[in-house]
Chains A and B, each alone.
Chain A
Amino acid sequence: MAVLGIESSAHTFGVGIVDNGKVVANAKAMYKIGSKGMIPKEVAGTHIKNAPMVIEEAMHEAGLRFSDIEAIGYTKGPGIGYCLHVGMLSAKTLAKKLNVPIIPVNHGIGHVEIAKNRAKLKDPLALYVSGGNSQILKRYGMNYKILGETFDVGIGNMLDSLARALGLYPAWGSTVEKTALEGSYVDMPYTVKGMDFSFTGMLTHASKMRGKKSNRDICFSVQETAYAMLVEATERALLLTNSKELCVCGGVAQSKRLKEMLKGMADEHRVRFGYAEDTFNADNGAMIALVAEKMLASGLSERLSDCSIEQRYRIDGARLWKE
C-alpha cells in the first residue's frame, strides 16, 4: 500500500511516499536560514508557498496517481507551531479529498524508524540528534524510553547558534563542520551527567572566543567536545541496556565526524552500527510516511476532526504499533 507522509516541523517541507516499507518518493523544499535563524511566520509562509509543488513532485517521483494513495501521515510534533499547522492542513485537505485515513506521527519516531529501515536494524539503541532534540532512545514494548537527553538545547541548535555567533554562512552545523577541518584544540567545558548532557555552557564559552582564537580552532574544539560528550553518554546507555545494535539519526547524523566516532565506540563493544543516508537524516516526508504505514497497519489512524498538532509532543508519550 502507498502511504504519503508530510513533514513540516521546522525548516523543511517534505513529502515522502512509502510502499510496503519501501521509500518510492522523498521530495522536499527548505527554508534558507539567514543570520536571524528561523522566524516561525516566515518559515510557515515559505512552506505554504512550496506545499503544492512538493506534493506534485513526490507524486511524480513515485510515478503514482492520487487514487493509489491509501493513507496520509503528517508530523503532529514536536516542532514549530506555525510550521506544523501547514503540514497538518495539507494532510487534512488531501485526506478529505482522497477520502483516506489520516495518521498523526511523532517526528522523532520518524527519524529513528527511517534509520532502522535504511540500515536494516531490528532493535537498536538510537542516538537522535537534531536542531531541537538530542536524545538517547530505546524501544521497550509499546513505548520509546528516553535514556539520556540534553538538559538545555539540542546539539544542532547549539551548532547553528555558534555559526551565527562566529558570523559563518550559511549559519548551520555543516558550515561548522567544514570550518573545523584541521583546527587545533582549545579547552571547552565538557558537561556529561550520566546519560544526560548540556550544551549552552560550551556555546557561551565558545562565542566569547570570537576574534581571540581562529574560527577554525573554535569550531574544531566545540565539535570534538560536543561529539565526545554525545558518544560518552551513548556508550554508557549502550552498556546499561546491553544493546547489540546502535544507530544515529536526525539532522546532525549527517556529520561525518560524529559517525566516525560512534563507529569507533561501537566497534570496541562489537556492536553493529548503522545510519540512514543524509537525505533521510535531514528532515523528510519519507520517514513520516514510513511510520504512518506501520501505524495504519495497527489501526492507529485518527478522525479528521480530532487531528491536532503538539509543539512539545514527547517521543515517550507517542503511540506505537505492534512489531
Chain B
Amino acid sequence: MERVNEGAEAVMYLAKLGSEAILIKSRNRKPWRISKIDTEIREKRTRREAKLLLSARKAGAAVPGVAAVGRYSIFMQRIDGVLLKDSKPAAKDMLTIGTYLANLHANGITHGDFTSANIMLTPDGPFIIDFGLGAFSNSEEEKALDLLLLERSISKKDYTNALKGYKSVSKEYLRVISRLNEIKKRGRYQSRTLA
C-alpha cells in the first residue's frame, strides 16, 4: 500500500483491489485535540462523506465510486486526471461542472470546499472529488458558499461558464445568487481573494 498524499484532513493510500486501483482515504488521529472531539469528527466525517459520495452519484454528478467504508476510512474508486487548478479547462467542462453542482444542490447536497483543487478533469469529463467538508443541507447560505469558493478559485471566464451550467439546471438559481451577493456585501468579504 502506497502513501500518495497527506492532506490536512486525511491520508490517502493507493492500493489494489483485484486488478483495480483504489484509493483509501483514512482520517488519522490528531493528538493535539481532545480524543472526544477527535474521534467524533473522524467518525462523523467518514460516515457522512461516504453517504455524500453515494448520494452525489445518484444526484447525477460524476464522483468517485465507494467500494467499502471503515470506521475512519473510505475505500473508493481512483480517478485518473488533472486537477482543475492545474489545467486550462474547455468551456464545455466548466458548463458540466456547473450542472453537477446544480444537481447536487437540487438534491440537498452541499460540497463545502468547492474549489479548483477538488475538481478533476479526466477524458470522461470532470469529476467532483473530496466531499470531506460536504453536508446534507438545503441551506441557501451553504449553496451560495459553494459558488463563492468556486468563484474565488478560478478565472472569471471559467466561472462565467460554470455559472451558465448551474443556471441551466438549477430551479433555485435566483435565490442562491441573491444570497451570494448578500454574503459578498458582508464587510469582511469585500476584498477576499483566494491565494
Q: Which of B104-120 contact A (CB under 8 A)?
A: 112-113, 115, 117
Contact of A194 among B30, B34, B115, B187 (CB under 8 A): B115
Cβ-defined contact, A228 with B113, below 8 A: no
What size tier do the contact residues of chain A reach? 35 or more
- Which among A239, A241, A263 is the interface contact of B7 at CB below 8 angstroms? A239
State how many angstroms separate the Cβ of A110 from the closest Cβ of chain B.
19
A140:B195 contact, CB within 8 angstroms: yes
Task: Say if the beta carbon of A317 comes within 8 Å of chain B.
Answer: yes
In the assembled complex, which residues on chain B have CB atoms less than 8 Å from the CB atom of A149? 188, 192
Find out whether the CB atom of A145 lies under 8 angstroms from the CB atom of B41: no
Which residue of chain B has its CB nearest to the CB of A135? B188
B37 & A264 in contact (Cβ 8 Å cutoff): no
B16 at the interface (CB under 8 A from A): no
Given A193-B133, A194-B149, the answer on whether A261 and B32 have CB atoms closer than 8 Å is yes
CB distance from A296 to the nearest CB of B (A): 26
Interface readout for B3-36 with A: 1 if CB under 8 Å, 0 if not?
0001111000000000000000000001111101
| Given contact pairs A193-B112, A312-B187, A317-B191, A185 touches B37 in the complex (Cβ within 8 A) | yes
User: What 1/0 flags go to A285-317 for Cβ under 8 Å of B?
Assistant: 000000000000000000000000000101011
- Give A228's nearest chain B residue, CB to CB: B33
Minimum CB–CB distance from A271 to chain B (whole Å) comes to: 12
Min distance, Cβ B24 to any Cβ of chain A, angstroms: 19
Give complex CA distance A193, B135 in Å. 11
Q: Is the beta-carbon distance between B36 and A194 smaller than 8 angstroms?
A: no
Which of A150, A224, A235, A236 touches B34 (beta carbons < 8 Å)?
Answer: A224
Determine if A316 and B191 form an interchain contact, defined as CB atoms under 8 angstroms apart.
yes
**Complexed CA–CA distance, A192 and B8 (Å):** 13
For A135-167 the 0/1 string (1 means CB < 8 A from B) is 000101000011101110000000000000000
CB distance from B38 to the nearest CB of A (A): 8
Measured between beta carbons, the chain A residues less than 8 angstroms from B9 are 236
Q: Is B145 an interface residue (CB 8 A)?
A: yes
Any B CB within 8 A of the CB of A129: no
Contacts A149-B188, A193-B112, A316-B191 given; indicate if A239 touches B133 (C-beta within 8 A): no
Which residues of B are found within 8 Å of A140, using beta-carbon distances? 195
Residue of chain B at shortest CB distance from A188:
B37
At the interface, yes or no: A265 with Cβ under 8 Å from chain B? yes
Contact of A314 among B37, B41, B191 (CB under 8 A): B191
Chain A residues, Cβ within 8 Å of B33: 224, 227-228, 231, 261
A238 within 8 A of B: yes
Q: How many residues of B contact A (CB 8 A)?
A: 26
Per-residue contact bits, chain A 251-265, to B (CB 8 Å; 1 contact, 0 not): 000000000111111
Q: Report A250 CB to chain B, min CB distance, Å.
A: 16
Q: Mark A56-95 against chain B: 1 for CB-CB distance below 8 A, else 0.
A: 0000000000000000000000000000000000000000
Pair A138/B41 contact, Cβ less than 8 Å:
no
Complex Cα distance, B30 from A301, in Å, reads: 46
- Of B30, B31, B113, B193, which is within 8 A of A193 by CB? B113
CB distance from A193 to the nearest CB of B (A): 6
| Given A145-B195, A232-B8: A194 and B37 interface contact (C-beta under 8 Å) | no
A275: shortest Cβ distance to chain B, in Å? 16
CA distance A62 to B77 in the complex (A): 65
Q: Given A239-B8, A265-B32, check contact A192 B133 (CB 8 Å).
A: yes
| Contact A265:B7 (CB < 8 A) given known A185-B36, A192-B133 | no
Q: Which residues of A contact B41 (CB under 8 A)?
A: 190, 228
In residues 130-159 of chain B, which contact A (Cβ within 8 Å)?
133, 145, 149
B141 to chain A, nearest CB (A): 9
A264 touches B32 (CB 8 A): yes
Cα–Cα distance between A221 and B114 once the two chains are bound (Å): 30
Of chain B, the residue at the smallest CB distance from A264 is B32
Which residues of chain B have a CB within 8 Å of any CB of chain A?
6-9, 30-34, 36-37, 41, 112-113, 115, 117, 133, 145, 149, 187-188, 190-193, 195
23 inter-chain pairs at a CB distance below 8 angstroms, sorted by A residue, are A138-B195, A145-B193, A146-B192, A147-B195, A190-B37, A193-B112, A194-B113, A194-B115, A194-B149, A224-B37, A228-B34, A228-B37, A232-B8, A232-B30, A238-B8, A239-B6, A239-B8, A261-B33, A264-B32, A265-B30, A268-B32, A316-B193, A317-B191
Known interface pairs A185-B37, A264-B32; 4 further A-B residue pairs with C-beta atoms within 8 A, sorted by A's residue number: A236-B8, A262-B32, A263-B32, A265-B30
The 3 lowest CB-CB distance pairs between A and B, nearest first, are A264-B32, A236-B8, A228-B33
